[in-house]
Amino acid sequence: MAVWALGINHTTAPLDLRGRFAFAIDQVAPTLHALRGALSRQPEAALISTCNRTEIYCACEHPQLQHTMDWLAQCGGVSADVLRAHSYTLTDGMAARHAFRVASGLDSMVLGEPQILGQLKDAVRAAEAAGSMGTTLSQLFQRSFAVAKEVRTSTEIGAHSISMAAAAVRLAGQLFENLNEVKILFVGAGEMIDLCATHFAAKNPKSMVIANRTLSRGEELARKFGAEVMCLADLPDRLHEFDAVVSCTASTLPLIGLGSVERALKKRRRRPMFMVDLAVPRDIEIEVKELEDVYLYTVDDLAGVVQTAQASRKAAVAQAEAIVDVGVQNFLHWVEQRSTVPLIQALNAQADEWRFAEMARARKLLLKGENIDTVLEAMSRGITQKMLHGAMAELRAGDSAARDRASSAVHHFFLRKER
């Protein structure tokens, strides 16, 4: 069984290209169905899509990397050459290593961050619901979760990490002298907005407002922080009220355009606005960044901030990589063993057939009143003869080469001293 992975992430592809390959969780099932339909032999498949990466994992008898590349490129509306220039392809042990490193936070923009593990588990559940998971990928991901847990508990990989949310607060603190006087708007109500709101709330801002397409979800998050809630439709008219805007939704099109921000700045009499766009694809049009009184940061812009604590964790990374190495070796050993499963099943079936035949014969003899010891002796002799018949036939073969091979096999399987 071959395993392969194809992906793009924050180190290989720019934000706008990653946006072309972003899939919401409700798009995963139809996307996986389309992928498997486009490839031969219906491979096992899983799809991971976050703000920093999109990755496809597949397993089948033969790898189909080129077809997977062509299909994904078409999906994103780019040529295969463009995708190839910004992607990575991995097979077997390297694919497993990558999955284990992703789950452990070793491949994240924020080294050791824990959110990716939850996102990976969500992706696996979505693939299971879509019916695209099989034994091999299930083993791959379950082992990746176990490796991630060991990395988390056995190393200091997550110590002193600066999250994207913390980085956003740090940048806001550089612009505003006192965050207590800042009015903040959060657009969206997902996990990342929840995390950002938690970090900003700790700074006691003047006010916090949650804008979300689904009002009930926005209200739920607003209650958690004592914030106000507003409809997403009111955003253009109220944008000028806010000093800081943090946005992260699953929208496929920008929610905040250049015109809206220009009008907001005019109403604010050019007072500066701090904006963070954590969405992929973008929630805020890129042209907004050119406005003089707007400080707009994307997920890629935050990369330098979140890397500042990396050096102190080099020892932890080495420990984590060693744990990953062991996990990869164990997975590859399991895959190699899987190749013998059909033979083992056939051997067990043959042994059961011999056993059932001799048991049926023994029952008949017992019903006829035969002595039980005589019956047991006959049954054991019958099973033994059936098991040894093939080996005996080969040892008596006329071909000397065949006899030599049989002799070696008999010594190996039947006559070894150690058991």
Query: Under 8 Å CB-to-CB from 207, ≥6 apart: which residues?
Result: 183, 184, 227, 228
Q: Which residues are annotated as a binding site?
A: 50-53, 108, 113-115, 119, 188-193
pLDDT on residue 18: 94
The domain segmentation of the chain, as residue ranges, is 2-161+314-337, 164-308, 344-414
Q: What is the CATH number of domain 2-161+314-337?
A: 3.30.460.30
Q: Which residues are annotated as a binding site for substrate?
A: 50-53, 108, 113-115, 119
pLDDT on residue 160: 58
114 preceded by a cis bond (ω within 30 of 0): no
Give the count of beta carbons closer than 10 Å to the beta carbon of residue 394.
16
Using CA atoms, how far apart are residues 184 and 209, in angstroms rounded to an integer? Answer: 6
CA distances 170 to 22, 55, 314, Å, are: 27, 30, 24
pLDDT on residue 311: 59
Catalytic residue numbers, as ranges: 51
Give the count of beta carbons closer than 10 Å to the beta carbon of residue 31.
20
What stretch of H or E contains 406?
helix 400-413
Q: Do 47 and 31 contact (CB within 8 A), yes or no? A: yes
Residues of the chain under the 50 pLDDT cut: none
Q: Which residues are annotated as a binding site for NADP(+)?
A: 188-193
pLDDT digits (tens, 9 = 90+) for 22-54: 998 889 999 999 999 999 889 999 999 998 899
**Angle between the 314-338 and 135-154 helix axes, to the nearest 10 degrees?**
150
Using CA atoms, how far apart are residues 100 and 97, in angstroms rounded to an integer? Answer: 5
pLDDT digits (tens, 9 = 90+) for 266-281: 999 989 999 999 999 9
pLDDT on residue 277: 96
Residue 68 is given by DSSP the state H
pLDDT on residue 419: 52
pLDDT on residue 326: 96
Amino acid at 67: H
Give the count of beta carbons closer than 10 Å to the beta carbon of residue 20.
19
The fold of the 164-308 domain, in CATH, is Rossmann fold (3.40.50)
pLDDT on residue 112: 83
Using CA atoms, how far apart are residues 80 and 70, in angstroms rounded to an integer? Answer: 6
